[in-house]
Amino acid sequence: MKTLLIDNYDSYTHILGQYLWEVNGEQPITVRNDSLSLAEIKDLEIDSIVLSPGPGRPERRADFGVCMEVIDALPETPILGVCLGHQGLAARFGGRVRHAPRVAHGKIAEIEHDGTGLFEGVPSPFKAVRYHSLLVDDGDLPADIEITARTRGDGLVMALKIKGRPFYGVQFHPESIGTEHGRKILSNFRDIAAQVARSRRAPAAGAGADLDGRGRGRVRHVRLPWVDPERAFAGLFADAPYTFWLDSSAPGADGRFSFMGSAAEALESRGEHLTRRRAAGPEAAHAPAGATGSPFAALRQELARGAVAPSGLPVPFTGGLVGYLGYELKEHLGFGATAHGARALPDSTMMIARHILAFDHVERAVYACASGADEPPLPPAPSAEVWLDEIAARLRDLPELAEPTLAPVPEGFADRLAVAQHLSRREHLDAVASILADIRDGETYEVCLTNEFRVQTSLSPFALYRVLRRVNPAPFSAFLKLPAGAVLSSSPERFLAVDRARRVRSEPIKGTRPKGATAEETLALRRELAESEKDRSELLMITDLVRNDLSRVCAVGSIDVEQLLRVTEHATLLQLSSVVTGALRDGKGALDALEACFPGGSITGAPKHRTIAILDQLERRARGVYTGAIGYLAFEGTLDMNIAIRTLVADRDGLSFGSGGAVVAESSPEAEYDEVLVKSYPLLRAVYLAELAEGSGSMPEPGPRPARASRG
């Protein structure tokens, strides 16, 4: 079954494509709605067409592209329209598309149907997920349009058929994790299309390999006795120009390992300009040989150069590229450039780390790992054998590191800091109101609006990080020291991980509450968060978006939601999250997965392309490191990166951090602004504590939190 899937720039198209691949036994041809002409589509000689969901209105060519022409020109080819595609079919045959009585994004509804066509063998009613603010008006419908399904209770149009043509539409999303019988509905469309298909073709050839030549080098290692990671970093690496500490400061299921080291070289990018910098000696102010203007191409080349054979070690990272990929790298992935100027730090910095220390918090052991080919190292880096001997000796002789004395923090501490916001309260409220209007008009489903805070301080970044990891420990924390500044992250969110078995994992977070003053209050807040319709809708939308992104690189049928809507507890906050997994298909590697998913959907919203454009207009700044990703790409082919939230950046302009929240149809401007403040408190508290410690020689203990802001 040769199916053409026309993508209306939606963030669920590729998971829909995975479902079609499963039921058809052949990967669909997926094209953007403006990438092929009608003549080129006709030349494909396809058996069926699926018109994807998407933002906007079907009457606008800018939103619906070539889809209306396809409907007109191919009357005998079976067509299935989903959401926007469904509305387009109705509009083409004389129906009217209007605002729904209530915006339904990530909402589950019971669907009643007539049991024919798409719904043959599907129970009635069944549950389906809706993502729409517009729908087909059933008043004065043309005779050519037949309604085949409605919502139970209020009777809203959920499916239709065009009489005399093999054209079908569904308003709900059959590909959503929350929709029952989605594959059955698509199987029924396959069977309908099989009856009228005019030609079939063999599946397309698979993609090329992610990296050539893996295994050229090898990993040497020694297992050493346990030492405190903070003491090790302070004594070994804190003063080097390029240093990193991927710090599981809240060890647990997600935080078994920490990694640290220094690097002799780093790859930096600013827009199209790539630079390979050395920690000592002359700088090479040009792109790495063979790389294009894309930093992802440079990363791919460097990983190929450093590829090593599997080490067999229990630690997932033995050397590779470590650092951050800033949010503005989105422009290299087709999301458009941010037109608000550059940040002080580069768009991305990835250190080339051939020598690392890995700390196993479960086994209480340290692994010193040196990876690379059997060739002389770049000065001033020592050879692998020399480094392993030296690091073992230095770990045995670490200087003592004083443990700070802790004391309480007063209420209202944030008011004592010199803090400035990029968007004022009024501007933030207006931006939320603008987003709500866009949601009502069908331009987007969910928008993750952020603000930026700047704090006047002269604190040492490492001294501040020592405080941050105590007051807000998190499994995906990090400290990066760079010549131009530092990055201090206490992120609770895993963006993406790929293990040696080529299994992919993403853990999106949506919905935030401050923890209660007592265990009983925290338990009540956990229940409230788990039952919140707004937060559940937010997370469901992003979970489906992650499934969609992974569908671009994962094997058909391998994507699974291992945990949906779980409440996770952190040092100061409660959050709602999901766990999405998959298996990379042949010819795809960790970097392909990163490119398919970046930037993370939990910090953009959905659909991703239209929503990012809205954010660029409303936020009026480059985000920089914030909401990018921090972590590693390993020479062994693994990957683990966080979403760079709860992250401080120190640069020549001072200290800054971002804070934000997802705006959905149920949002109120005041509640969204309050959520931004709630998320900012752990970082502001760390700054306050560090300043107090620097002035008094002691580090106060985290005490009562600021009064809890209203939730949104």
Are the beta carbons of 147 and 679 closer than 8 angstroms? no
Are the beta carbons of 676 and 660 closer than 8 angstroms? yes
Question: CA 641, 532, 133, 185 torsion: positive or negative?
Answer: positive
Round to whole Å and give the CA distance between 348 and 325: 5
Amino acid letter, residue 201: R
DSSP code at position 284: B
- Could you give the 3-state DSSP secondary structure of residue 19? helix
Are the beta carbons of 567 and 538 closer than 8 angstroms? no
| Terminal CA-CA length for the chain | 46
Q: Cα dist. 602→333, 578, 626, 636 in Å?
A: 17, 11, 13, 28
Exposed e or buried b for every residue in 495-522, given b needs 16+ CB within 10 A? Answer: bbbbeeebebbbbbbbbbbbbbeeeeee
Give me the helices (H) in 413-532, please. 425-440, 461-471, 519-531
Cα angle: 471, vertex 475, 476; to 5 degrees: 100
Query: Among 540, 496, 453, which residue's Cα sits nearest to residue 643?
Result: 496
Token pair 């939103």 is at which residue?
63
Round to whole Å and give the CA distance between 247 and 259: 7
- Could you give the 3-state DSSP secondary structure of residue 653? coil
Rg (CA), the chain: 26
State the catalytic residues: 83, 173, 175
Is-cis flag, bond preceding 599, omega within 30? yes
Percent helix, percent strand, percent coil in the chain, to nearest 5: 30, 30, 40
Round to whole Å and give the CA distance between 502 and 12: 23
Is-cis flag, bond preceding 166, omega within 30? no
Query: Among 473, 475, 491, which residue's Cα sits nearest to residue 252?
Result: 475
Query: Per the structure block, which two tokens stand in for 625?
Result: 């490191």
> Which strands sit side by side in the sheet containing 29-32, from one edge to the other?
29-32, 3-7, 48-51, 79-82, 167-170, 157-162, 145-151, 96-113, 126-137
Are the beta carbons of 637 and 214 closer than 8 angstroms? yes
Round to whole Å and give the CA distance between 531 and 536: 7
Residues 6+ away with beta carbon under 8 Å from 344: 484, 485, 651, 652, 653
Round to whole Å and give the CA distance between 102 and 123: 26
Token pair 């401007």 is at which residue?
669
Cα angle: 197, vertex 199, 205; to 5 degrees: 120
Residues 6+ away with beta carbon under 8 Å from 691: 417, 457, 459
Other beta carbons within 10 Å of 657: 25
Question: CA 702, 704, 707, 710 torsion: positive or negative?
Answer: positive
Secondary element (H or E) of residue 5: strand 3-7
